[in-house]
Amino acid sequence: MQAWDADRAQARIRELERLPGALLPILHALQEEFGYIHSDALPMVASALNLSHAEVHGVISFYHDFRHAPPGKHVLKICRAESCQSMGCDALVQHVEKRLGVKLGETTPDHSLTVEQVFCLGNCALSPAVMLDGEPYGRVSPNVADFLIDSSRRAQ
Amino acid sequence: MSVRVYVPRDSAALSVGAEGVARAIASEASSRRLDITLVRNGSRGMFWLEPLVEVETPSGRVAYGPVTREAVAGLFDAGFLEGKPHALSLGPTEEIPYLKQQERLTFARCGIVDPLSLTDYIAHGGYRGLQRALSMTPEDIVAMVTNSGLRGRGGAGFPTGIKWKTVLGASSDQKYICCNADEGDSGTYADRMIMEGDPFLLIEGMTIAAIAVGATQGYIYCRSEYPHAFRTLQRAIAIAYENGYLGESGYLGANVAGSGKRFDLEVRLGAGAYICGEETSMLESLEGRRGQIRPKPPLPALEGLFGKPTVVNNLITLATVPIILDQGAEYYRDFGMGRSRGTITIQLAGNIKHGGLVEKAFGITLHDAIYGFGGGTASGRPLRAVQVGGPLGAYFPASLLDTPLDYEAFASRKGMLGHGGIVVFDDTVDLAKQARFAMEFCAIESCGKCTPCRVGSTRGVEVIDRIIANDNRTKHLELLDDLCELMTDGSLCALGGLIPLPVMSAIRNFPEDFDKPAPAPPTLIDPQNRETRPWH
């Protein structure tokens, strides 16, 4: 992830703007590049796709994935769906929140880790499941969660 | 001679350390100067045994599992490359009862082949279905799919052949095939396994659909929670474009397998919205809009993606088409019971000892799936409830485990088979809490298009909170019943329309959980979600 760069954003928009239904691919590309959708990107995307600002804003705010602010250096997604509930994900969420002093959807003050909820990672035979920076982990006990948190923050 | 060693790259296998095991095997082999070929296959679907390592021996593949990085040196010492015994030995893979007792048609290759080897795919019977389809008329292909009895595996169970016939009959300059791979139901992972373990199967199924209805462009809508599946599909599509059978033109593009027919395919990423698993929301999302559902009619088969006739099928539906074309409609139809023909891909999940993928003919009972294959609960405590069919499916008590897995049998017991996910709960589950979660989930994921779902779900959470808090319980249970009836009858799609299933089944089957003393009040919907969802 790199810091917001309008020229780079414009280049990514150009690459994709001709696709049919280009808005989601563009938003994904921007978020992949910068970790979130910078507010300056909105008019750029709107103008490239001949949409109103409201339409673009409406799409960004509709989908859970798109962020309005930069996330922490690492992102931990904890599954809160039924399968993981049956294996104690509520306790896992409580443990992680207490340990980090943040709620789901928040970033630690040192900006090292963002914790998000997710509904199903498709790893339901190995619940509870989490995903750290896009990599899946199964049968995550509080101890395993601590290990993942510690090693990611150490790695920075 | 090089020994083939298989270590899955399936997400579930990776989630318990398959990557480390693969690296350890490679480095151990190189330091011992042993010649091995490491194949990163899909998963066989026995997740409690992952990472499951297989070795190809002259007498067939032999399995070891669950293998840890630390166990790798010991496996080499024991001579696992010759299939010799070790504490982690599971014997010949195909003889493991969990696998042996299945009827794998759609999953025939998953976990066996190298997912990104077209040669492997073809050596294991791949693209025979397409070859046959290319020798048939579109009408005959559609008739074959109709006669096979194949029904939509996403949950609705609509006959696939009839949907295709509508698209075939529509005249248009452009038609589309859309694969719904937005597998959002908790307890399901069959789509992911195919995308990661046998992606050419999906490509072949979509190509056959395209030839059958006259479509030239396909999209796979893959959920963003599946980054590995997305990347595997992208690579598989690129390979299918470049390589063709016997060096002819590619399997995708302007001249599919030398047939002169065009089919282009692209995989698109969702963005974390459960509702985009609903077909019209998915189409909106593919077009670049908010994933709000469209009222039907018009049917997507007539006015679908970009207003053109579109086949929208679940991934498993499309992945089942090749074997029907290859083996014939009768072969497939002979499996199953009643009006549920063929096989169901059961996904055992949650509090289950032997969680995994079980492909069986329709008709196996819940009990046989959960105990015969699943081995009961993971915790060892008594089973108290199962939720079949994802977050919109009913909660069944142990007394309903004799229900056969069959669309109609489930409907007659006010349940739903859905995408085949079975989530098991032990006796620590609180069904009032589960009912509340169902409504909360609906509130979080509602697209906001229709009032019964948008407002009803939030009011539903509030009413359930009052019931749990023992505030005027009888009156509020009546109110909830009324609200659920309204949501069932008045919602535009299955989210608002079916969320009453888990809620009311919890009340009906587990009344004692709604009759307990009031606990400390739970927190309401996360205020953050209120902020991003202004209609709450």
CB A119 within 8 A of CB B186: yes
Q: What is the pLDDT of residues B198-214, one digit of tens each?
A: 999 999 999 999 999 99
The partner residue sitting opposite A127, judged by closest CB among B227, B350, B444, is B350
Half-sphere exposure of residue B330: CA atoms within 13 angstroms, side-chain side: 0
| Placement of tokens 């009972």 in the chain | B365
Q: What is the pLDDT of residues B19-77, one digit of tens each?
A: 999 999 999 999 999 999 999 999 999 999 999 999 999 999 999 999 999 999 999 99
A84 touches chain B (CB under 8 A): yes
Calculate the CA A82 to chain-centre distance: 21
Local confidence band at A154 (pLDDT 50, 70, 90 cut-offs): confident
Domain range annotation of chain B? 3-96, 118-333, 336-426, 431-532
Name the percent of chain A lying above pLDDT 70: 99
Instruction: Show residues of chain B in contact with A55, CB under 8 Å.
Output: 289
* B321 has pLDDT over 70: yes
pLDDT of residue B132: 98
CB atoms A126 and B47 under 8 Å: yes
* B244 has pLDDT over 70: no
CB atoms A21 and B187 under 8 Å: no
Task: Return the residue in B225, B230, B306, B449 with the most chain A beta carbons within 10 A, the one to mutate for interface testing.
Answer: B225
Establish whether domains B3-96 and B118-333 are of one fold.
no
Q: Which fold has domain B3-96?
A: Glutaredoxin (3.40.30)
Query: Which domains, from first to last, does chain A contain?
Result: 6-62 (no CATH), 74-155 (3.40.30.10)
The partner residue sitting opposite B183, judged by closest CB among A64, A122, A125, is A122
Calculate the CA B14 to chain-centre distance: 18
pLDDT of residue B519: 78
Instruction: Show residues of chain A in contact with B271, CB under 8 Å.
Output: 24, 27-28, 63-66
Nearest CA in chain B to A31: B271
A49 touches chain B (CB under 8 A): yes
- For residue A111, give Cα distances in angstroms to A1, A68, A73, A107, A146: 14, 15, 6, 6, 17
Domain B431-532 CATH (choose: 3.80.30.20, 3.40.30.10, 3.40.50.150, 1.20.1440.230): 1.20.1440.230
- pTM above 0.90? yes
Which A-chain residues 29-48 have CB contacts (< 8 A) with chain B? none
**Distance of residue B423 Cα from the nearest chain A Cα, in angstroms:** 6
Please state, in angstroms and rounded to a whole number, the distance separating the CA atoms of residues B485 and B482. 5
CB atoms B434 and A124 under 8 Å: no
Instruction: Show residues of chain A in contact with B227, CB under 8 Å.
Output: 134
Q: What ipTM describes this predicted complex? A: 0.97
Question: Tokens in use for B2?
Answer: 């090089």
CB B207 within 8 A of CB B24: no
Q: From B497, B450, B501, B459, select the one nearest B480 (Cα to Cα).
A: B459
CB atoms B271 and A65 under 8 Å: yes
Please state, in angstroms and rounded to a whole number, the distance separating the CA atoms of residues B207 and B311. 12
Residue range B367-380: average pLDDT? Answer: 98
**Distance of residue B375 Cα from the nearest chain A Cα, in angstroms:** 13
Instruction: Show residues of chain A in contact with B226, CB under 8 Å.
Output: 122
pLDDT of residue B243: 81
CB atoms A24 and B288 under 8 Å: yes
Opening angle at CA B67, ends B74 and B200, nearest 5 = 130
pLDDT of residue B530: 46
Q: From B52, B72, B200, B22, select the one nearest B127 (Cα to Cα).
A: B200
Task: List, as one string, the DSSP characters of A72-132.
Answer: -SEEEEEE-SHHHHTTTHHHHHHHHHHHHT--TT-B-TTSSEEEEEES--S-GGG-S-EEE
**Distance of residue B327 Cα from the nearest chain A Cα, in angstroms:** 30
Name the percent of chain B lying above pLDDT 90: 93
Q: From A34, A27, A26, select the one nearest A4 (Cα to Cα).
A: A34
The partner residue sitting opposite B349, judged by closest CB among A22, A58, A125, is A125
* CATH architecture of the region B118-333: 3-Layer(aba) Sandwich (3.40)
**Distance of residue A45 Cα from the nearest chain B Cα, in angstroms:** 12
> Is the CATH code 3.10.20.600 the one for domain B336-426?
yes
Nearest CA in chain B to A21: B287
Amino acid type, B510: F
**Distance of residue B144 Cα from the nearest chain A Cα, in angstroms:** 32
The partner residue sitting opposite A122, judged by closest CB among B192, B444, B526, is B192
Task: List, as one string, the DSSP characters of B407-453.
Answer: HHHHHHTT---TTSEEEEEETT--HHHHHHHHHHHHHHH--SSSHHH
Nearest CA in chain A to B347: A125
